[in-house]
Amino acid sequence: MLPERIFILTGAGTSAESGLGTFRDEGGLWTQANLEDVASIDGYHRDPELVLDFYNMRRKNLAGAAPNAAHFALAALQDAWKAQGGAVFLCTQNVDDLHERAGAADVVHMHGELTKARCESCEAVFAWVEDLTVSTRCPACGVSGFVRPHIGWFGEMPFEMERIYEELALADMFVAIGTSGAVYPAAGFVTAARQAGARTLEINLAPSDTADAFDDARYGPATQAVPAWVEAMIAGEEED
């Protein structure tokens, strides 16, 4: 019996082979910068320019990156499942737009989006691909100095949590792809899915911190392991 509703959680490993790097691997972002300084709300209040420059650098990297075979395979799975009356809910911890650029729909970015900014004065969220500075003027309300990256930092509630837990309760299958399982609440989703009776699969380069919580695993680079899994699913070879 193939799962009708699949919940997919992706992390930085999904975009690693697009050249965006990860956080906790050798040479990863958190080995170059201290996450408390550049990816936390306290760090932003302490030194906004340092944080804005960190995201300006990442936004520039993203402009030069392209979706990889894993992103395209997940978009194809979403289309195939929709065509047969099922659903693939794609929740990503990533702030890049590579899932969308590969054709995925209705992607939930629980940690925000690098290609958007938010005004803390009028709360407007808008597309933004330029550099941000401490004096950037909000295009919606015209006030300067309150525009920040639309990113969910450490110490901030991630986005769309209500929808995420609703989808976890409905999932027949939960698949985590390219995530270390180090960051909460995302790292706890597998447990919520299991409690709802879902089958669980981890696809990663190596066993994650939460590997023991999964029924099955496929290890290897995402550009190989994800297309292989999607092909097997679409061929109906992954029956429960």
In the complex, the residues that contact ligand BV8 under the rule CB under 6 A are: 11-13, 16-17, 22-25, 28, 39, 93-95, 111, 151-158, 178-180, 182-185, 204-206, 208, 221-222
Q: In 24-132, where does DSSP find H-type helix?
A: 29-32, 35-38, 41-46, 48-63, 69-83, 98-101
For ligand BV8, the closer of residues 172 and 210 by Cβ is 210
User: Smallest distance, Å, CB 40 to ligand BV8?
Assistant: 8
C-alpha distances (whole Å) from 142 to each of 55, 124, 146, 236 are 22, 11, 10, 54
- CA-CA distance, 47 to 91, in Å (whole number)? 30
Cβ atoms of 90 and 106 within 8 Å: the answer is: yes
User: Smallest distance, Å, CB 208 to ligand BV8?
Assistant: 5
For ligand BV8, the closer of residues 91 and 138 by Cβ is 91
Side-chain-facing half-sphere of 167: CA atoms under 13 Å: 23
For ligand BV8, the closer of residues 57 and 205 by Cβ is 205
Which residue minimizes CB distance to ligand BV8? 13
Cβ atoms of 168 and 8 within 8 Å: the answer is: no
- CA-CA distance, 2 to 100, in Å (whole number)? 25
User: Smallest distance, Å, CB 237 to ligand BV8?
Assistant: 21
User: Smallest distance, Å, CB 180 to ligand BV8?
Assistant: 3
User: Smallest distance, Å, CB 240 to ligand BV8?
Assistant: 24
Q: Among 165, 159, 123, 162, which residue's Cα sits nearest to residue 140?
A: 123
Q: Which residue has the tokens 């340092």?
A: 50
For ligand BV8, the closer of residues 186 and 233 by Cβ is 186
Q: Catalytic positions, please?
A: 111
For ligand BV8, the closer of residues 14 and 172 by Cβ is 14
- CA-CA distance, 191 to 35, in Å (whole number)? 26
- State whether residue 7 is helix, strand or coil: strand
